[in-house]
Structure 1
Amino acid sequence: MKYLSMCIVLLFLSSCKTETENLLTNKDDYNKYLASSPSKTTSKYFELWNNKILPDSSQLMSFGIVGGEYNRYFQNTGDIQYLKKAEQVLEKAVNIAAIGQASYYRALARNYISQHRFREAAQLADSARTIKSGVDQTMGLMFDVNMELGNYDVAQKYLDSLKNMNDFAYLIRLSKWNDHKGDLDTTIRFMEKAKEKAEDAKDKGLRLWAYTNLADYYGHAGRIEDSYQHYLKALALDPGNAYAKKGIAWIVFSHEKKADEAMRILDSVTKNYKAPDYYLLKAEIADFMGDDLKSLSNFDTYFKMVRNPAYGDMYNAYNVSLYLDRTDQFDKALKLSRKEVGNRPTPESYSLLAYSHFKKGDKEKALEIVQKHIEGKTFEPAVLVYAAEIYKATGHVEKAQAIKTELFEAVYELGPSSTKSISKL
């Protein structure tokens, strides 16, 4: 009996130790950022330039400044209306510009990228390229667009044309390229160099970009403490930064399994920040908590938001995944995944198309898509989950098992609920 009691005590202590080892976050680190007030969506600077824009206005500088401010408001609030307002202003600037037209082409292209209008963005980037002004910025944009369109060979050529290890813009793209290739160590090394450049320049925007992206990469590499610290660095610069708070919420949820605390963080964010995908994460956390009512409520909020036509194709991929994994609307999934492949023919889009065919019962078509468009072309865990299931169902057991082994190392990225689905592969 003493032996049994001792075993129970040791088991309890071991459990407590493991739980403590997983705890990296501290409420005191981030609580001060959770009570942030709504972001300002006007200023004397904005009003000054906005008032110069009249129905027949041709004041080009006004359009550029106002468009930039609208984009900043979108970044700070997640409210799609500001991205669309920026689009309207920049389209007018493109139409009237005689001097500096390339810069307006690039700005509008980036706006289109944010809206997932990648083919239109590519056309604008090509128009900027013909003007021969701001050549490096245009080459960088061409790289970005071609990566989004899955034209990886073309993207690499543009990247090679930019080579400059002292340039922040080149380093972040070189980092993205190595992430695409699955070389995470090299990805992080170049992103750390980019961070140093941003800090040396004392540029707030570049530092925020570097901190949050590096935090993401650290998370992928299992360096959770480093990830956490860089999200905090971002919040120290910008206390209202929703993305950094979302990153901390993910660490709290996926690494520490503190679903209630993760939900508390996200609830504070969604009071003022309006991006639909935040409600999907809240629904996932509610599922993990076993709170069906809260999960359904957050899904309902998401679907109500994305019905807004202003979002266009921005949430196609999310919607396909929900049709496949949540609502079993396989016909809708197949139709929308075909559209998404047309918009953005990447391995990620093809994985949705393959899994849609799979769910519709066409296993051979699904396998054909995986072999042609996914196999050896991506290292994204969410894509590999679908591929492994298709491999297993079509008798390619060894390939499925190889992916399964990789996926167990990616549970942090996929979320704690993924363990069960991976085990079934």
Structure 2
Amino acid sequence: MRQIITVIAILFTLASCQTENKPIVSATFIDSLLSHYSDTAMHIASATETQFWKNRIDPANPGLVNEIKYASGLVNHFQLTGNIEHLLMADSILHAADMAFNQKEAGPKLAMVRNSILQHRFKEADSLLQQAKVIGIKNYESASMGFDVAFELGHYGLAEFGLKKMAGQTDYGYHFRKAKLAHYKGELDTAIASMHRASELAAGNIYLKQVALSNEADLHLHNGDGQQANDLYVQSIRLQAVDLHSITQLGWIALQHDKNDSLAEKIFRFVQSKTKAPDVLFKLAQVAEARGDSLQQKKWANEFVSIVTTTAYGNMYNKYLLDLYTGILHEPAKAEAIAARELLNRTTPQTYAWYVWALHCNNNAAAAEKVYQQQVSGKPLEGLELYWMGKYMQAQNKGFTAKQFFKAAYKNRYDLGPSMVNDLNKALAE
């Protein structure tokens, strides 16, 4: 009987290995997607809509509707093209409208809240939201945007309170936010189910459907399920091919799971040709990392840094910068400065973990330990922070605690760069 059980166990292990090694991303699908991809119609539609509202603005007689619609069009164009200047211009338009009405209208402020969140200016978003509430806004806006701001600031109790106030089993926004909160709590099954429900409730709105599908895919990726994530990204792309996030994520699965760096690079370079957003430069650095090409990795890393450290991007890419400065670029003092600056923007277990890691890398051991004990220990973390805290514990010869962090990080391995995953595998094999 024991021999039968042993044979079954071996067969199960072999089957698992074969499943694990089987490529997920279809090169045929990617070839077809890239060869037939066209974003011309969407660019024209976006530009036409934006220009329409711009033309309706009368500088001599400032209004609200045209200005807010124009700003919204600029934000949509930013999301389509990755051109940060469109987002900054939207800010300028909204600020002018706000001042034209002596800051007594809620509309411009609510739009500025959304833009501030996009730009990771979370305390500014909170201030604007409070001003809008004083003026008077709808209960749903107060609850939903209250959740968004509180969640980003790390005020999770307030976020949950806002979520309860907007509770509605047939509301897209409620289920979308419920998924975010569940993910933070580590309740991935609940998060996935809620995001799936949001995708069902999107009905005929392709944009909302794609946002929910790609976020559901991201959650599956956080859960280590590359196949399910791939299927959802493909489903989103089939709805509307102009979904650069999902396309990029297919490249990431190709790199991390399939070990197909050529296909990953092909996808990332295609995305690079379609957007001005700098994110893909970071991905190209990770392709070089997977290849062990440190010179090329540094080239892409420095190009990324030169863009995202300009004033236009503010704090939008601090996490990426911290990764690079404590990694391939070896500039721990800059990492510490960025982590400290991020804490002025938001104080969450994640951002405190960034600070611990940066302090450790910059040889500020006592400060790192104090922050860890007070702000990080026992708190929910995501893949990158779990890995960093594992390395932090490893450096202190706390092997058992380090391994617990590494085990948790392995479940989130798609959040980690290629060399981190390799390091994680070695640590867990010891």
* Contact 1:146/1:152 (8 A) holds in 2: yes
Report which stretch shifted further, 209-218 or 158-167: 158-167
How far the C-alpha of 1:389 sits from its partner, in A, is 2.1
Match of 1:308 in 2: 310
Q: Which residue identity lines up with residue 82 of structure 2 in the other structure?
A: G
Task: Give yes or no for the alignment of 1:24 onto 2:30.
Answer: no
Q: After TM superposition, give the deviation of residue 154 of structure 1 in Å.
A: 1.7
Match of 1:344 in 2: 346
Counterparts of 1:335 and 1:319, CA distance in 2? 11
Q: Is the 8 A contact 2:222 2:413 kept in 1?
A: no
Match of residue 408, structure 1, among 404, 407, 410? 410
Deviations, residues 68-127 of structure 1 (Å, cap 9, x unaligned): 110111111111111111111122233335899333322110101111111000011112
Change (3 A) 1:405 1:48: closer
Residue-by-residue CA offset, 1:163-204 (whole Å, 9 max, x unaligned): 2121110111111111000010111111111111113xx111
Within 2, Cα distance between the matches of 1:180 and 1:403? Answer: 16
Distance across 1 between alignment mates of 2:103 and 2:399: 60
Q: How many aligned positions are there?
A: 409
Amino acid at match of 2:144: G
Q: CA deviation at 1:284?
A: 0.8
- Which amino acid in the other structure matches residue 116 of structure 2? Y
Bigger mean CA deviation after superposition, 122-131 or 89-98: 89-98
Which of 137, 143, 150 pairs up with 1:146?
150
> How far apart in 2 are the matches of 1:210 and 1:53?
34
Over 3 Å counting, the alpha-carbon distance change for 1:360 and 1:297 in structure 2 is closer
Flag structure 2 segments of 5+ consecutive residues without an equivalent.
Answer: 1-13
Are the counterparts in 2 of residues 367 and 394 from structure 1 also a CA contact under 8 Å?
Answer: no
Which residue of the partner structure matches residue 72 of structure 1?
A: 76
1:266 match:
268
Q: Displacement, 1:392?
A: 2.9
Q: Alignment partner for residue 171 of structure 2, among 160, 167, 171?
A: 167
2:67 corresponds to:
63
- Equivalent position amino acid for 1:222 in 2: G
Identity in percent: 27
Cα displacement (A) at 1:44: 3.4
How far 1:224 sits from its partner (Å)?
A: 2.1
TM-score by structure 1 length?
0.90
CA shift in 2, pair 1:363/1:43, >3 Å: closer
- Given that 1:143 and 1:155 are in contact with CA atoms closer than 8 Å, whether structure 2 keeps it comes out as yes
Q: CA deviation at 1:395?
A: 4.5
Say which is worse superposed, 293-302 or 224-233, in terms of deviation. Answer: 293-302
Q: 1:103 aligns with which of 104, 107, 110?
A: 107
Measure the CA separation in 2 of the matches of 1:311 and 1:263.
25
Tell me: CA distance 1:46–1:335, structure 2 relative to 1, closer, same or farther (3 Å).
closer
The C-alpha deviation readout for 1:246-272, integer Å capped at 9, x for no partner, is 111111111111011001001001012
TM-score, scaled relative to structure 2: 0.89
Matches within 5 A, 1:370-409: 370-409=372-411
Contact 1:321–1:352 (Cα < 8 Å) also in 2: no
Q: Which moved more, 1:205-214 or 1:101-110?
A: 101-110
2:331 matched residue in structure 1 = 329
2: CA distance, partners of 1:212 / 1:147:
20
> 1:257-290 CA deviation, whole Å, 9 max, x = no partner?
1011001001001012111121111101112123
In 2, the alpha carbon distance for the partners of 1:132 and 1:54 equals 26
